[in-house]
Structure 1
Amino acid sequence: MPLHQATVPVTPHGLTTGLTTEQKGVTVSTYAERIAPLIRSALEVLRDTDRPLTRQEVMDEVERRVDIPPGLAVVDSGGRVRWRVQLGFRTSEAGVIGWLTKRGAWSITEMGIQALDDFPGVELYEELMREYRARRPTSRQRYSDRSWLIIAEAMARLEPGTWTTLEELRKLADPDIRSRVGRFFDEHPSSTSHRVLSDQGEIPLHFSWARPNRTDDPREVLEREGLEFDSEGRANRTQLVTADDFREILAEVVQVPPVQRAWLVRGSSVDGRDLVPVWLHKESASLAASSLREIAVPISRNELKTIVEDDYQHKSYAVREAKLAEFDAFCNRMRPGDYVLTTTQGKAYVGRITGDAVYVASSDKRSNIRRPVEWLNATRPVPFANLPQPLPAKLHGQSDVVELTDDIAAIEELLTALDIDLGETTSEPPRELLAFPAIGQDLAGEILIDREQLQQLADLLWENKQLILYGPPGTGKTFVARKLAGELAEPSAVKLVQFHPSYTYEDFFEGFRPVQQADGQLAFELRPGPFRQLVEAARQHPSDPYILIIDEINRANLAKVFGELYFLLEYRDDAIGLLYSAEADFTLPPNVFVIGTMNTTDRSIALVDAAMRRRFRFVELHPGLDPIKGLLGRWLENLRKTDELAVHNLDAPDVLDALNARIEDHDLAIGPSYLMKSGVYRRENGLAVVWETAILPLLAEHHYGSPPNVLDRYRLPTLRRALAVPE
């Protein structure tokens, strides 16, 4: 049923509240009644001017002419004003039916002027939607799958000066096609696909226009359309169109499944009193908000921030920030249908939110903001020990309100175990179990290492999550790490970073970076590092392994680089607060694995502390030990079968073994990769060149300060004479 025909109250997000207006004591207008004056005003602004106007000019003039309804005046965490986003969508629809044009600047057409005269009040909006639905049969016929229709409809509304991401579009689709959304654009080119950017707001690396002969620079096109970029090439996040934005606007055209969230709300110790029994009895949940003045819900985050700063000025800035996050989540972000979890006396209760938040002047100041909740296991609490992972870790956070949306699958697993009917849920179907694929013989044959030995490495990584390959130079540590990771995970799920002495936590995980704003001023924004990006990607695909390769892991100050994450490497089932982010319950997903490499020649491995050794399993790759022992001989045998020019220096394996036999220090041995180059065996002097330019300089460094003739025992002619091989 369209929103403007609804007979029950609706929230600004277009979802039913479950409460009557009499119960709430307020009057709730329909979406149509709130948006219709804005559409009319926009058309009138264009009618009353003698030139085309920019989007910003139209929006500013509408704001001067119309009293914006409170439900549409909300500013989200990205700084976007809801009514402007909604009006942008609706004017795009007006463009489709011919009421206005939006090519660069906006202009009203004769049809638009006539519509202003013909349709008074809310009828203007209703006619707009009727005409638009009638004009969109092509897309309905073309995309028989409802999810593809939703994506197509969303792209049709992505107007100039806005952008979105593949991840936001995936959130609109059914679970079974989410992984294919990226390929949708290859099969169905869209005139707005250049407005789909990376998660960071950057032009995708492999961007190409739908028309092969088009050569415009996509950033220049986007800037002409009104999109703003900072000095690092990232789009303005206030111009981002999210999945929630799409859901609201598409509700009139096609049924979009609402997003379901989950929350932890603490009530076991509110100013010294356990309120959970009260919640269970009264079917509610609440926040104390003891110093908060009476507020009207919903309330914009900016307005709420001003109130919190004033009402809690006697508290520290950290307390004020925490209160703002809790109040905003409870009042604005929670919605009917969301799961809510609470705990008391070592047991957990799960419920569903059934209505909007309301402010009530509580006599004891312990429950001033309340929401109705249907508690699903009020008489069957679940002990902490029986909670599915990762819920136990999330219970350790300090905030009174913690979002658990990423853990809905665990909550529904819990409810299923309690034999509670979940009804029609919007969560994803059960995921495939996380697992490594078995190591194939093809990989073993490619890198000439026994399959069982490679499987042992994979098993160690699976069991311990963290693995370090260490050994002398030239033993293929990084090569093996990359090949192993590529066998166990998809290419997009593998990331490599290299540590060095100046590498920091801010480089590795997250930190503040200077960003030039649209007005030319510099500001600092929190930006994710490679590990944080990998972790967030892993959260989106919990049944797929994600692997971080850290090359030269011992080159950096590990305690400095990992910071509080050091704790999570060992305690994967626990949570911890982050240095910069507001998250108090950050966890490492179980599908994140780490492979490090260490070079033993600089002795830095001896400096690795016990804490590091406890968190990683160590596997040595050494020329005298399996799986590297005999590798050069196996490689050379394969080369001779495929390269008829490789007929020189076939004694290289024996010479290398003789060299390492003369190197007394186990950690200073020379690995075979120096000699695993086809050119060494195509030229008569190929081995001598490598020996003089790569191997001897390395040995000279090891013997720095010794007499010059110390290197004579390592020279190629000397070794060949000892082996009785003619020079």
Structure 2
Amino acid sequence: MADSVRIEAMFRTAMEVLRDSPEPLTKRQVTEAIASRFKFTPYEDQRDDHGRPRWEVMLGWRTGDAGTVGWITKRDGQWALTEPGIDALETYSEAELFAELLRRYQEIRKHRIQAHKALSGSEQLLANALGAVPGGSWTSYRDLAEATGLPEEQLSHFLAHVDIPGAYRVAYEDGTLPSDGMRHFRYRGGDIARRLKAEGATFDDQGRLAAEDHVTGGEIRERLAQLPPADPESQVQRAWLVRGSSVDGRDLVPIWLHKESASLAASSLQEIPIPVPRDELKAIVEDNYQHKSYAVRETKLAEFDAFCNRMRPGDYVLTTTQGKTYVGRITGDAAYVASSDKRSNLRRSVEWLNPTAPVPFANLPQPLPAKLHSQSDVVELTENIGAIEELLAALDIDLGDAAPDPTKELAFPTISQDLADEILVDLTQLQRLADLLWENKQLILYGPPGTGKTFIARKLAGNLAEPSAIKLVQFHPSYTYEDFFEGFRPVQRADGQLAFELRPGPFRQLVEAARQHPSDPYILIIDEINRANLAKVFGELYFLLEYRDDAIGLLYSGETDFTLPPNVFVIGTMNTTDRSIALVDAAMRRRFRFVELHPNLDPVKGLLGRWLERLRKDDEAAVHNLDAPEVLDTLNARIEDHDLAIGPSYLMKPGVYRREDGLADVWETAILPLLAEHHYGSPPSVLDRYRLASLRRGPAAPE
């Protein structure tokens, strides 16, 4: 009992205190009542970083569980026992009461974990970690990063874009609530402080969450370790890359395969107990590796923490040597074994699944080849479990598990005839655009104004992807990488202080959404793509547009192995009056396929006539200006510059044909001003050749 907390007795006492009170009690009143009835052992009274005794922390967890199962209510800082709580207290003995609490909580947790299975591996880790933060408590982004091993910036992106229950309980380290932009949309615009207070959380005079309700990263890990698994198959399976091909100049992979193991050198690491709390491990690494740079120490801490604390039996593990990959399953806990050559002090047993059939890099499913190029000795691959299982299936390796649900293959749907009829474009031409986009991932529609570039891009995207999987942005001269992908933005915190937060741009949001649904196409439409400095806007992402199978490091978030999912596609539109296609640099030409939309070329050629024919059938009032197609053709014949032609969209408006002066209005207010801009500096008489009366007289240009 010296190294345990009498939590069963304390929990029942807390329930009795609430039952016997004529009115609700505060958390402080409950803990004071407990303190008056128990003489605490040194272990129970051991304090954490916030000065809270261990027994109080654990009691907070269990009363939070009681709130989850409906035995206790915590509203506006006031605790009370419910009728089901009173029934449970009167029905069960001390041990039975606690066992029943755990059983009921595990039932709820089991359903939550099943719901989490739709999330990616990293997001499941977050969901489980947040499940260890009970109502009335809160944690910080940094604590979640410590508990899960995810980069803090990446974690904040997940919480902003993925619906994970309990995410509103995450704040900044000082207890300040994050801005709406850092929350998932379901929590935006609501009174989060009020919601937290209703659960029992308290705030100080400056509007910050109280330190006494703070659940640290270490506490999250400790609580998850204490919870019995709700279901063996509901546990989140992780995947890892462990490097062994060059450990102090020696390839250890053949030894691993022979001895069915994997290891880390940890050559300067003292003997440690395993598992070891991360904060203790950090202090040990800082001491043992003080002769190394801070960057090396941070890397070693992450690697040792992953190998000793976060890996567990059943996880996948990959390793590489000589351009080939081996995959296995971890079968044992980590152990410290002092090796004579200092090349394998930390070890785990591994069942290697393809020891005689390594897979060449070129045959690995995406995005594994890019991920395996990471420089670290331990890399988490949990997000890529689908690719690993695809690899195992290709190797015909039977893991004895239930067959996974078949996944839908990524593909574009066939272009429908209904779409072709709707936009009056030939079906084969639309299918060609779709095929070009599929083959090259990036496509640009370019041409003069009024040729329907953006219209066709949006209609095409709408046929190929769901509306929620399409995002449109418009570039302009001041558009930047920070606007497009991610950057730090000033935000005002709840305490009035100004801070900078890393915020995702539209492209990052689309990419993260695409990762969650790898079988569905996601399409980014960039209108006026040539109006921005593309090298500046895309930054390091420019590389990935051409080399989709590789990974790069990101400028702000610190991710070192960022990839573009294969289900992300880009359609750009380019107005040739702003910048001729001939001026586009070679780098951009390599990354995009270019399709011209011009009034003299299909599919735009004859479009106005086809549209007008349909309008006349549907609108009896459309009886004026029926010579518009011929007038437009004559105009474009008189415009000598191919890139300055006028597209039919200006004239595809029903009002032009319902009024006798409708065409003249469009000509005087839209088309002639555009042509005047093209001829800026020329005598006014140059516009006479483009006037409506002149064009109607015939194809010959006036003298």
- Whether the TM-score (by the shorter chain) exceeds 0.5 is yes
Give the Cα separation in 2 of the matches to 1:481 and 1:722.
35
In structure 1, the partner of 2:183 is: 201
User: Does the CA-based 8 Å contact 2:43-2:54 persist in structure 1?
Assistant: no
The answer on 1:658 being equivalent to 2:634 is: yes
Deviation at 1:265, TM superposition (A): 0.7
The one-character-per-residue Cα deviations of 1:665-701 (angstroms, maximum 9, x if unpaired) are 0001111111111122222222111111111111111
Normalised to the residue count of structure 1, the TM-score between the two structures is: 0.76
Distance 1:501 1:466, change over 3 A: same
The answer on 1:126 being equivalent to 2:99 is: yes
Distance 1:110 1:715, change over 3 A: closer
The answer on 1:452 being equivalent to 2:428 is: yes
In structure 1, the partner of 2:72 is: 100
User: Does the CA-based 8 Å contact 2:75-2:197 persist in structure 1?
Assistant: no
The one-character-per-residue Cα deviations of 1:221-248 (angstroms, maximum 9, x if unpaired) are 536537899xxxxx99x8999x999998
Give the Cα separation in 1 of the matches to 2:103 and 2:321.
52
User: Does the CA-based 8 Å contact 2:71-2:86 persist in structure 1?
Assistant: yes
Give the Cα separation in 2 of the matches to 1:240 and 1:438.
51
The answer on 1:405 being equivalent to 2:379 is: no
Report the 3-state secondary structure (helix = DSSP H, G, I; strand = E; otherwise coil) of the residue aligned with 1:204: helix
Over the matched positions of the two proteins, sequence identity in percent amounts to: 70
Distance 1:569 1:453, change over 3 A: same
Which of the residues 610, 633, 637 maps onto 2:609? 633
The answer on 1:387 being equivalent to 2:364 is: yes
In structure 1, the partner of 2:666 is: 690
Give the Cα separation in 1 of the matches to 2:544 and 2:30.
51
In structure 1, the partner of 2:173 is: none
In structure 1, the partner of 2:251 is: 274
Distance 1:95 1:612, change over 3 A: closer
Deviation at 1:633, TM superposition (A): 1.1
The one-character-per-residue Cα deviations of 1:588-615 (angstroms, maximum 9, x if unpaired) are 1111111111110022533321111011
Give the Cα separation in 2 of the matches to 1:498 and 1:69.
60
Deviation at 1:97, TM superposition (A): 6.5
Which of the residues 304, 315, 321 maps onto 1:338? 315
- Map residues 543-692 of structure 1 onto 2, 5 A cutoff: 543-603=519-579, 605-692=581-668
Give the Cα separation in 1 of the matches to 2:62 and 2:587.
58
User: Does the CA-based 8 Å contact 1:74-1:300 persist in structure 2?
Assistant: no
- Map residues 275-354 of structure 1 onto 2, 5 A cutoff: 275-354=252-331
Give the Cα separation in 2 of the matches to 1:130 and 1:204.
30
Deviation at 1:442, TM superposition (A): 0.6
The one-character-per-residue Cα deviations of 1:496-516 (angstroms, maximum 9, x if unpaired) are 111112222222222223344
Give the Cα separation in 1 of the matches to 2:56 and 2:532.
48
Deviates further, 103-112 or 568-577: 103-112
Give the Cα separation in 1 of the matches to 2:661 and 2:258.
88
User: Does the CA-based 8 Å contact 2:491-2:501 persist in structure 1?
Assistant: yes
In structure 2, the partner of 1:222 is: 195
**Gaps in structure 1 of 5+ consecutive residues:** 1-26, 76-80, 169-184, 186-190, 208-215, 230-234
Report the 3-state secondary structure (helix = DSSP H, G, I; strand = E; otherwise coil) of the residue aligned with 2:369: helix
Q: Which amino acid aligns with 1:619?
A: V
In structure 2, the partner of 1:18 is: none
The one-character-per-residue Cα deviations of 1:295-342 (angstroms, maximum 9, x if unpaired) are 433344444445444544443343333333323322333222110000
User: Does the CA-based 8 Å contact 2:26-2:79 persist in structure 1?
Assistant: no
User: Does the CA-based 8 Å contact 1:538-1:545 persist in structure 2?
Assistant: yes
Q: Which amino acid aligns with 2:347?
A: R
Deviation at 1:527, TM superposition (A): 2.4
Give the Cα separation in 2 of the matches to 1:156 and 1:306.
25
User: Does the CA-based 8 Å contact 2:77-2:197 persist in structure 1?
Assistant: no
Deviates further, 578-587 or 124-133: 124-133
Give the Cα separation in 1 of the matches to 2:511 and 2:32.
40
Deviation at 1:218, TM superposition (A): 5.5
In structure 2, the partner of 1:709 is: 685
Distance 1:252 1:124, change over 3 A: farther
User: Does the CA-based 8 Å contact 1:699-1:711 persist in structure 2?
Assistant: yes
Give the Cα separation in 2 of the matches to 1:246 and 1:550.
47
User: Does the CA-based 8 Å contact 1:502-1:556 persist in structure 2?
Assistant: yes
| Number of corresponding residues | 642
Distance 1:360 1:58, change over 3 A: farther
In structure 2, the partner of 1:371 is: 348
Give the Cα separation in 1 of the matches to 2:420 and 2:391.
42
Distance 1:282 1:393, change over 3 A: same
Q: Which amino acid aligns with 1:100?
A: I
The one-character-per-residue Cα deviations of 1:208-229 (angstroms, maximum 9, x if unpaired) are xxxxxxxx95657536537899
Give the Cα separation in 1 of the matches to 2:55 and 2:650.
64
Report the 3-state secondary structure (helix = DSSP H, G, I; strand = E; otherwise coil) of the residue aligned with 2:318: strand
Distance 1:451 1:42, change over 3 A: farther
Q: Which amino acid aligns with 1:271?
A: D
Normalised to the residue count of structure 2, the TM-score between the two structures is: 0.78
Deviation at 1:123, TM superposition (A): 5.0
Q: Which amino acid aligns with 1:654?
A: E
Give the Cα separation in 2 of the matches to 1:611 and 1:149.
42
Give the Cα separation in 2 of the matches to 1:300 and 1:270.
26
Deviation at 1:368, TM superposition (A): 2.8
Give the Cα separation in 1 of the matches to 2:282 and 2:699.
80
Give the Cα separation in 2 of the matches to 1:357 and 1:261.
15
Give the Cα separation in 1 of the matches to 2:62 and 2:79.
15
Which of the residues 511, 535, 552 maps onto 1:535? 511
Give the Cα separation in 2 of the matches to 1:97 and 1:87.
15
The one-character-per-residue Cα deviations of 1:531-585 (angstroms, maximum 9, x if unpaired) are 1221121121111111111111111111111122111111112222222233222
Give the Cα separation in 2 of the matches to 1:634 and 1:651.
13
Deviation at 1:107, TM superposition (A): 2.1
Distance 1:291 1:244, change over 3 A: closer
The one-character-per-residue Cα deviations of 1:451-482 (angstroms, maximum 9, x if unpaired) are 11000000000111110000111111111111
Give the Cα separation in 2 of the matches to 1:255 and 1:590.
33
User: Does the CA-based 8 Å contact 2:14-2:30 persist in structure 1?
Assistant: yes
Give the Cα separation in 2 of the matches to 1:666 and 1:59.
82
Deviation at 1:719, TM superposition (A): 1.2
Give the Cα separation in 2 of the matches to 1:632 and 1:488.
25
Give the Cα separation in 2 of the matches to 1:414 and 1:102.
49
Q: Which amino acid aligns with 1:441?
A: Q
Report the 3-state secondary structure (helix = DSSP H, G, I; strand = E; otherwise coil) of the residue aligned with 1:633: helix
Q: Which amino acid aligns with 2:441?
A: K
Deviation at 1:404, TM superposition (A): 1.7
Give the Cα separation in 2 of the matches to 1:250 and 1:603.
63
The one-character-per-residue Cα deviations of 1:71-125 (angstroms, maximum 9, x if unpaired) are x9899xxxxx999998666424424766532233242449879988998875552
Give the Cα separation in 2 of the matches to 1:62 and 1:493.
54
Q: Which amino acid aligns with 1:500?
A: H
The one-character-per-residue Cα deviations of 1:436-456 (angstroms, maximum 9, x if unpaired) are 110000100111101110000
In structure 1, the partner of 2:437 is: 461
Q: Which amino acid aligns with 1:104?
A: D
User: Does the CA-based 8 Å contact 1:475-1:623 persist in structure 2?
Assistant: yes
Q: Which amino acid aligns with 1:277?
A: P
User: Does the CA-based 8 Å contact 1:74-1:301 persist in structure 2?
Assistant: no
